[in-house]
Chain A
């Protein structure tokens, strides 16, 4: 290990490499900077809480070699939530240089952390990010003056457009090679942030731009609420419509005309039709067919399209604005306006949604969001399965399943809000700017999320399908499912085979729906089956995340509650439908 010339205990090296910390307030573009400066990619989003655990990556073009550590976004060094505690730990482990990102549109607020960091012994390089947005808002900043007031280099940047990075890399190399500590000098008696702000900023009159107009429209009630409803409907129409189009134009013909006949011929070479092996391979639940059809032809298009929508909403800064607008409403159901972010993520996958609740500071809020996401928010794979099952028959039924989801979410939220101890945090946040997301960052993020989902989530699915193929096609299931059968057949009114869906639903949420596809169900049965699947047990990955994030007690309670609710609501739906059918037939009169 190389020996540094001025070793002290604040000067820890990482495997002999220099340590560079990337710090700043939440939502200042740190994650974009991190992914630009390292080869390793990180998910970036236009709201606080994406980076709860620190990411490390090799700093590109660093001489000597250095590691860049992305520290969670914080407002000050006072430990208020988990994020500050984590940041303090990382800071105390030592660093060779700190890159502190400042939001140019919000300088005063950012200066608080800047001054606190500057009082530490470590050299600091300041980035004045989002210079383009500041200029659009008519804010001019004298970066040279700021640099002399802070006694450290200040580099103006536009991270999403990669402006200012060459100078940043040069400054980092200067400091870590020990050549020059730049304009670094200890800051003894700094001015308070407000005065520094006044000193370096000038405001010029400006015309309200389109962005300003949208910012106004999205936050004021009379335009904001219609925009929100329109946005949700557009998102749904885009995912469902484009997904169905891609499937019917591309995936299904490919599958039916080429893949299935090919596999059947292949299986025919090994064994003959009618044998158990043939059925396991290419029968009704044949593993060679379903393990490709379900995850790729059925789920993948929806996953991809959903992540386009979610990533766009995140990066544009729309979600926090919507959260502020409907905070008053959500509060009645035990949710904070900000909860809209983890819940929207939950429509993709519950795992990142539950991890994302770490940004919430009260346990009560975290538990409510996690419980609701596990219970009533279908993941995108399950939504894909719903579209496949119901969408082809009746769009109204599909919408009805989502209405049940909202209804259960609100009721459970209100109930949990009443019975869980603790209070909800008040809203006290900076309203983020709306921006047009950078297409390349968006694309990277969508690809990364889609890849992650398909690898992490769909591999257990293939095992589930193998299990289904073995149990159904060999008839072994009849020996397993007799316990569930009375419940499934007489209470829910579903065929006995449907119990396989419930058994598989433990593995993956969409597997609680997909087996119903080939069962020739009536519309009523499809609806009941979907409602049960929707509310039924969170999948295995979610269960483990719940244990990890909370305690096994909470994981078990949430799972038990979901199973009970699934059967109760499913049973109720079944009886209500039968009651209405009986009434419609003039029964009793």
Chain B
């Protein structure tokens, strides 16, 4: 099974969370197992990864935390809009 986190995914990839990193704050942001989001931006110098979730909310996730995500790519859905 591949586990590259979010950092190696290309922008505009839509994915679903399979396993969360050990970080209680993620839940407060509304990211749980099963949440779908779209990778929007990757900040330079190993900066945060910006993802967009279903409520059209954008979240910035620290590079280190983002690298520990386990996700699977999905196609379609509300998130795949341009």
Contacts and interface: CB of A to CB of B under 8 A. Distances in A.
A512 to B, nearest CB: 35
Interface in B30-82: 30, 32, 40-48, 50, 55-65, 78, 81-82
B29 interface: yes
A194 B23 contact: no
A544 interface: no
A320 to B, nearest CB: 9
19 contacts: A105-B57, A107-B55, A108-B30, A139-B56, A194-B32, A197-B55, A203-B56, A208-B82, A219-B50, A225-B44, A327-B60, A329-B45, A332-B45, A428-B23, A428-B25, A428-B29, A430-B57, A431-B57, A431-B59
Question: What class of interface size applies to chain B in its complex with A?
Answer: 20 to 34
Contacts of B65: 426, 428
Nearest to B58: A431
B55 A328 contact: no
A300 to B, nearest CB: 38
B26 interface: yes
A431 B55 CA distance: 13
A376 to B, nearest CB: 21
A22 interface: no
Interface of B: 23, 25-26, 28-30, 32, 40-48, 50, 55-65, 78, 81-82
Given A324-B47, A328-B46, A332-B45, A137 B60 contact: no
B41 A429 contact: no
B9 to A, nearest CB: 16
A327 B28 contact: no
Q: Which 3 A-B pairs have the closest CB atoms?
A: A328-B47, A328-B45, A426-B62
Given A203-B56, A426-B62, A428-B23, A109 B46 contact: no
Interface in A228-243: none
Interface in A26-85: 75-76
A325 B57 contact: no
A130 to B, nearest CB: 12
Given A327-B43, A427-B60, A337 B55 contact: no
B41 A220 contact: yes
Given A108-B30, A426-B65, A431 B50 contact: yes
Contact of B48 (A76, A109, A197, A427): A427
B45 to A, nearest CB: 3
A205 interface: yes
A426 B29 contact: no
A363 interface: no
A147 interface: no
Contacts of B29: 109, 428-430
Nearest to A219: B41
Contact of A324 (B25, B30, B32, B50): B50
B20 to A, nearest CB: 12
A107 B25 CA distance: 17
A201 interface: yes
A108 B55 contact: yes
A80 B26 CA distance: 13
Contacts of B47: 324-329, 331, 337, 427
B12 to A, nearest CB: 12
Interface string A172-200: 00000000000000000000011001000
